[in-house]
Amino acid sequence: MSCRHPLIVAAILGLALPATARAEESFKIGASLGLTGYAAATDRAWRDGLTIAVDALNAEGGLLGRKIELVVEDNRSEPQDAVVAYKKMIATDVVQIFDSGCVSAGNFAAAASVVRARLPMMLCSILPQRPEEQRWAFSFLAPPRFEIDARFRYLKEKTDIRKIGILHDPTPYALLMKDLASKIAADFGMEIVATESYKQDDADISVQLGRINAAGGGAVIKMGQGGSTVTVAKNIKQLGLDKMLLLASTDDGAIFKQAGEVLGGRFLFVAPPVQIPDSAAPGPMRDAIDAFLKYWQAKYPDRDPTAGARAWDSMMVIAKAAAIAKSTDGTALRDAVEKLPSYQGAFAALNFSAEQHVGITENPFRMAELKDGKFAVAP
340-362 tens-digit pLDDT: 999 999 999 999 999 999 999 99
The pTM of this model reads: 0.87
CA distance 278 to 174: 29
160 class by beta-carbon count within 10 Å (0-12 exposed, 13-18 middle, 19+ buried): exposed
pLDDT tier, 15 (very low <50, low <70, confident <90, very high otherwise): very low
How far apart are the two ends of the chain, measured CA to CA in Å? 41
Residues 240-296 have pLDDT tens digits of 999 999 999 999 999 999 999 999 999 999 999 999 998 999 999 999 999 999 999
> Using an 8 Å Cβ cutoff, are 151 and 221 in contact?
yes
CA distance 168 to 282: 36
Proportion of the chain above pLDDT 70, given as a percent: 94
Q: What is the pLDDT of residue 24?
A: 52
Residues 169-184 have pLDDT tens digits of 999 889 999 999 999 9
Residue 22 pLDDT exceeds 70: no
Q: Provide the 3-class DSSP secondary structure of residue 353.
A: coil
> Using an 8 Å Cβ cutoff, are 357 and 111 in contact?
no
CA distance 91 to 71: 13
Residue 120 pLDDT exceeds 70: yes
Q: Domains plus CATH for the chain?
A: 6-142+282-350 (3.40.50.2300), 144-271 (3.40.50.2300)
Q: What region, left, alpha or beta, does residue 323 occupy, with left being phi > 0 and alpha being psi -120 to 50 degrees? A: alpha
Q: Classify strands 137-139 and 163-168 as parallel, antiparallel or unpaired.
A: unpaired
Q: What is the pLDDT of residue 41?
A: 87
Q: What is the pLDDT of residue 38?
A: 87
pLDDT mean over 202-212: 98
Q: What is the pLDDT of residue 71?
A: 98
